[in-house]
A and B are shown apart, each in its own frame.
Chain A
Amino acid sequence: MPSARPDIRVPEGARLRVNAIRCQAFGFCADYAPELFGLDEWGYPVVHRREIPAEQLALAYEAARRCPVRAILLEQARGASPRRGE
């Protein structure tokens, strides 16, 4: 996913996923980070785009932290380190 800002390198493989078995449709993620999540008509989150641009990594991390059932996963390829915000 190309970044909006060419000076920011997007870490490869920083991907947002929802564990649909865990998800209980609390909707906290879409409340907190509407930039990243929408809700379908049943209240379950739809990830706008799987690849997270570097400038939204902190937001994605906080959204994942706020999920009461820990259903949000931020996966990364080896080498990328979204935790440190790149």
Chain B
Amino acid sequence: MDIKPLSEVELNNTEASRGSSPSEPSPLVRDDEVFIRMTPIERLQHITLILCFVLLVLTGLPLLLDPAMWLKKLFFFETSFAWRGWIHRIAGVGLISLSVFHLFYISCTQRGRDLFWALMPKLKDVTDALESFGHNLGVTRWMYEKGILTQFFDRHPYWLFRQPPQYGRFNFIEKFEYIAVWWGNVVMIASGFFLWATNLSFRLFPLWVYDIFKIIHSYEAILAFLAIIIWHLYNVHLTPDVFPMSRVWLDGTITGHDLRTHHPLEYEAILEARRQAARTTRDTEAQRSGAQINGDQTLDRKSGG
């Protein structure tokens, strides 16, 4: 467990621009407390997905690139192109199996169902995205400073996006990525199936339909590849707070500190639940002994909104 030095914790806590996130750790949820974010079975699904995805990209990419000399050199033995095809298909079957397993996971286990519904976007995610973009770009604040539309902004300070949005267990980026994986999987598996069963497709459809499958499979692959290496890697691993890599995908845990700073609403929910539990305990103990519990003040203090 990585315990952050006190000085850094304090720096984070006093940070004004982090908005209204809980600025101080509560004794009920300590900063070095460890929470499970990904269970072993979820990490296994994630690692399988990485493996299949990397294999699919590596073996599919040559078809989208010009067979220039350096690329041709990788296909140095006679059956190498056929091998490329078979590895691609095997990885494809791996991805299909993973999708089926995941369907089973999110429908047949309680945790799976909870995660699935937590990952479904709500109206708040749309406004979160807007606020996050608006806050980071700072265009409206710049306009305000330059005296453009000041009257409008004075009346509607919301549009200045002074504070970044607060996220719960999954932010809009994570939800978007989860849905994108679903969408991509469905599109790639469907088009990939018909590309694999070439002669079946030729019997079923005219050639232009087959060509469309090819186009969709190619462009969807480019989109997925770019989304992963740009969007996913930045937001999860390369963003300055976690650079160079988040360890969640390996050990599956998140600290109280990271919950508080990155998932303040989830932190609040946990805190609230514990307060309730503490109150219940305190009430029963008070009834029993009439004694007071220390730290009452701290527990009742609401930190931000």
A binds B: no
